[in-house]
Each structure stands twice: as C-alpha cells, then as structure tokens.
Structure 1
C-alpha cells in the first residue's frame, strides 16, 4: 500500500461544534479530535450502486484521512511492529489461502482491548477516553449537510464511532471502530451501527478496505468492537462464486448467495440498495444473537457486499476471526508458516462450520427476513 500524504485543504475544517451538536455530545477534557461528518448524499438508497470503488481513482477524503492518521501514528512509534515488513505467501492449492508470518502477533492484545474498552463504566463507552486517548485517530458520525465535512473539536458525538489505532495490527491500517455510546444500545449489532459501518465502507470507497466483527454467542460478549484494515489483495472467499439463495439485483435489488466450494458454510449479501442491506443483515444478526449463535461479519467491496460466517459454538472449540473465515491466516512461528497446507486450513474451517441442517434453517430465515423488507 503506497503511503498517503496529509489531508488536503479541500476538506472543510471547523474549530467548534454548535450548541445543538453539544446537546448530542460529550465533552472530552484536553482532547481535540477530528470529527468526520458523513454527508447526506452517502445515505441515499442507491449510493452503493453509484459510488466508484477502484484503486485507479483518486482517494476519497475519508480514505486519505484514515491512512494519513494511521501512518502518522505508526511513524511516532506507537505500534508494536511494522506489519508491512511481515513475510507473506499464498498457500499452495486451489483456494489460494493467504498466510502471514508475524512473530510479534498476539491475539490476547485484541482480547485485552475489548475487555478494557467494553466493560461498563458509566453511560459512555470511554468515560473520558483516557485509556486510548493517544490511539484515538478520528471520530466518524452522521452529518446533516449534503456533503461530508471534517470538524476539529473536543466534543465527541454520542452517536459517533471512535476510530482507534490497533497497536497490534493484523494488516496495514488496522483500526478499531467503537460506537461511543455503546452501553446505551440494546446490542452492538443493531441496525444503526450496521448502517454507520456500511456507510463508512462506502465513503472510504477503497476496495482494499474491509470492516469486520466477531460475535462469540455469549451475552457477556455482546458489546464487541468492529475492526477494519486494508488488505492489498482480495480475500480468498471474495473470489469464489456463489449459489443463489434469494433474489437477484435486477428484479429485487438484493441478492443472497451461499459461498460455493468452501469448507466453512457462508452467506454473501449483495445489494445496490443501502437500506435493504442493513435491514436484512441486521435482522439475521439479531436472529443469531437471540439464539446464542457465534458468527463473524465481513463488509467488503465498499459496503456493497457483506459476508456472514456462522460458526459452531462450543467451549472447547476456537472461534475463527473474520479475516480467518475469509482465508487470511497469521502464524507466529517460522515452522508453522513454512508447513501450513491447504488441507490443514480447510480442516480448520470445517471444524467450526454449521452442519447442513442448521445451515438450511439459516438460509430459510434469510429468505423470511428479506421477504419482510421487500413488502
């Protein structure tokens, strides 16, 4: 990924929020943060079909902002390692799984972050943002103007998403996306949060940018943070064909497919209509949460596609992360990296996959959900 410079002067920069915005916000002492307000145009029904998503086009404002802020954070020595120097390879075989050698990788770092960030400490996710003040890059929220704008302020909007650098990155630009008012929501994976996450992916408009979240099926872990990072190449699951489950883009505006020839049973939701995507995926997430089912979500293709990876929940079985579900694996020893095989990865994916009966039930639930919103 080529470095991106600092934010250009094309953005509108304001120093303070209005009184109306303050009523919806929370003062953060000694913390001036860039607030990125998504323009109303990004919320149009057909925006997912109209926005370009290509590396050939110029970077969007939010894309430039995320990359420049993350790179500046890295240059200051705030990351544990330079993930861009990690050895990479394509695992031999038809699936083209991606393997990374990262001897500094520590999954516990992600778990520690979520444990500290999502414990109940008052009405806000971070009562004063102190634990992550130096790692806080920007805050993204819904805007009221036609176009997007950047505002510098010490006022954090309650309906915003805090963008926090991950000091233990999986890939380039790895960040946490944490809803600021998370403890006032019935569950993290509700329609409003999914809507904002999908809009962020659409506004970034970079096909390398992926947003993901994991849910282990337990009530105590309902408040989990979204993450995002840039992957230089498409994840293996994104390159596979799909078997139609419901609809098509021409007649219904939404398509649900079963990922074909993949040992982990998975679904992909594709839509040009923003609201339909959010409503249907949100409905299925609620269904899985209510049934205590583990799953991972992967938002890709600038918000146009959402992959759902349901998983078997068992105390003795390791839950795969969203990037692992997508075919991207990290190894912390040279030996494991050298000897990984496609058959081993396939067996790992199969070990957490739903059986045929439960997957059929989930597909039926998807059809029921999308039919409800098509009326």
Structure 2
C-alpha cells in the first residue's frame, strides 16, 4: 500500500508538472500575440490549425499518410512546437512588426512628404505672384490659379498609393519614384530633395512594407526561436519541439530560411506547421499592410506554392479533401468566405454555423 501511494503521488506530481509546462507555453504564446495588435491570435490560430492537420493525418486511411499515426505524446510535441514557433519574436522590434506602410517608423513619414509638397507648391505660387503683374477684371483682382497644382496633387496621390505596400510594385513605378527623388524644394534658402534616400529605398519595396534590411531583422526571429528552445532541457518525449518550431519557414525546394533545408530534411510535423502558418498569414484580417484574402485567392496561392515545391502538395491535398479547409473557412469573416477550386475541382463553402 505504501509503494502504491508513493507511485500515485509521483504520477500526480508528473502530471502537475506537465500541466504547468503546458500552461506556461500557452502563456508565452499569448504574450507573443499581445506584442502586436496586428498579429493578435496568430499563435493561437496556428497552434489549433496545426493540431487539426495532425488529426487529419491520423484519420487518413489511404495514400501516403495511411501508415502515419501520431500517438498522444507526439501530438503534444507537435502542439507545443506550434505554440512556441514564434517565441523568437520577443526580440523583434515592435515598429517592424507593426509597420503598416513603407514609410512608417514611429510615425508615417508620408506626412513629412506632404509638408514638403505643400511648401514647394506655395513656393511656386509666391514666385509667380512676385514676378508676374497681377491682372485685374472689372476693377477687382482676378484670382491667379496656382501653377503646377495638378502636378503636385498627382505626386502626393501617387506616393500615398505606393506607400501602402501590397503584392507587387512595377518597375515603371519604381522608376517614377527615382525621378521624383530628383525634385528639390527650398527651405531657409537651401535646396533639399523632395525624397530622402532612405525614403526612396522604402517606397521602392516591391512586396509588403519591409526593406531588405528590415526583413532580415524580422526573419531573425526564427534563429532566436531555435536558440531559445535549444537552450531548454525538454524531456525526451518533447525533444523535437525546437526542431519543428525552427523549421516553419523552410521550404521543400530549399529556398526557405534560416537553413535552406530541402525536402528530405524537413519532417512531417514541421511541414504541417509551415502549412498552418501560411494559411493563417494569408487569411488573417488583422495585418497592418494588407486585408485578409478571399479563400479562393488563398487556395490559388497555395497551388502556386505547391507547384514551386514551397509546401507539401500531398499534405495540402489532405487538408482540402478531408474538408478541413472548409471547416477552417467557417471561422473567417463572411467577406472572405467563397467557393474555391483545388486541382480543378470546385469546393463549396457554406456557412454551417
């Protein structure tokens, strides 16, 4: 009886420690989500979706995944890796995570450019008023239309548009930005460029709002995640948590980061986490630089990623054919839910909630 009591006490202690670890991990995930109002809920959604994908793999009775069955410990390991996949973002500067426009730092520098344009416009008006005789009509001074008014307005409208970021900036627009950088304006008798060199660099970003240097800082969160997680003494049944979490930006074609691993080096749980991360990012309605995409557009993007061997095509087939994508769509805003095609087959998304 005494031995049984000791064994029971040890079992309860182990379970208590496991529950504490699980709760602590979720708290870390919640803290990462709270770091930025634009990514709130990302870790939570990725963790849930990764677990759902793992369960669909377990349910598969045909094809490549029929022989795969994650046990309870393996599912817990996958779930923990998903909760901790972005832990390195603790070190990422908030102004990069929250960068809503290309010119944003602590504030959006498009406002500075607006002031420069207005100074230039008023300077043009002043020069005209100073150098030209003022015409009169019926004894009253006739209004003198500001010269280049339309040109200045077109400049600021154009800069407003490209400052928002997006999926692509044409070479023509990049060249236009560089031409505008050659315009100068007078301030205290000194000629200054309309666009500073770093503003030109930011405005010429072709995708999103981050420059190459800023993206490198953002991508560093994966290196930090690996370093932080590898420094933790995970028990044997959780030893792969750093491995899976550290590979969620790797691609089967070897073009991912941070290590550029190829197909054979990326285990299935890491592929599931990568797919969940991509799906959440594409559908998220809270990103600062883009609205959430329609489901049909998301699936077209996924097909392109499969064609390039960025993602595991058979895994994508499974989440579509099992109905997981349709269930996932029910939690999207109504404006993002629509029917989609996958491998030439139409899938209907109806609100069943």
Q: Answer yes or no: same fold by TM over 0.5.
A: no
TM-score (norm 1): 0.24
Tell me which protein shows more helix as a share of its residues: 2
Which protein, 1 or 2, shows the higher relative CO under an 8 Å CA cutoff with sep ≥ 6?
1
Higher strand proportion: 1
